[in-house]
Amino acid sequence: MNDSDATSILVVSAHPDDESLGAGGTIATHTAEGIPVDVFCLTSNNVRKVELDAACKELGVRKVYTENRGDFAIDLELRQEVVDVILETRPTIIITHSTEDYNVNHVVCSELVDQAVEWASHSTIFDNAHRVGRIYHMEINSLQSRPHIMVDISSTYETALSALKKHNSQLQKADGFYVNFYDARTRLRGVQGACERAEAFTIRIPFHAGPFYPENSVRTLL
């Protein structure tokens, strides 16, 4: 990361509504503290783009990036698009899906982020290479078995819920499932985190396995 890169967060999600369901409270908490949050959603269409923009506005998101493609049209070919957004937004951390998710599109999105973070960091490839510090895996409709942290969203839950409800086309599908699940999941994680409501994440350290980084040289392990 260049010294000139300000602290910011990038959320890379598979579908419009994942940003609100998985990390809505966390996004709102950070934007309320003045930390810029951008969202890159890998799929969208005319209806869902309008809903996504409205939800992101509610959450205080700085910029929304989307690919205009169907819900299931996510594959590793999208790596360069993720790299481009990383190099433009230069995030300190990325929030994305968990590989424990039962939705295969979410799993592919998570793998795409891993690959894009690695590729974007190669200063031998890009003059404006950027090194992301950490990746956080969020929960959607699958619970992660061993999350590392609970982010206290007690004060931003209502904002996140309001953002989630902007995704009208999805809410009608599942007979209240999404809102009910978000309610129950954030309460459960709140109990675990000793607060009213929380969103859970696992933390992933990017590979950065190449031989190009002085940051990878250490004298001791402590």
State the residues that interact with Zn ion by CB under 5 A: 14-15, 18
CA distance 106 to 1: 27
Shortest Å distance, C-beta 133 to Zn ion: 25
| Closer by beta carbon to Zn ion, 15 or else 131 | 15
| Closer by beta carbon to Zn ion, 120 or else 161 | 161
Shortest Å distance, C-beta 101 to Zn ion: 8
Shortest Å distance, C-beta 15 to Zn ion: 4
| Closer by beta carbon to Zn ion, 41 or else 117 | 41
Residue with tokens 């992101």: 56
Shortest Å distance, C-beta 146 to Zn ion: 22
| Closer by beta carbon to Zn ion, 101 or else 118 | 101
Q: Which has the closest alpha carbon to 138: 27, 7, 33?
A: 27
Give the Cα-Cα-Cα angle 208, 212, 216 (nearest 5 degrees): 60
Q: Could you give the 3-state DSSP secondary structure of residue 69?
A: coil
Q: Which region, left, alpha or beta, applies to residue 154 given φ > 0 means left and ψ of -120 to 50 means alpha?
A: alpha
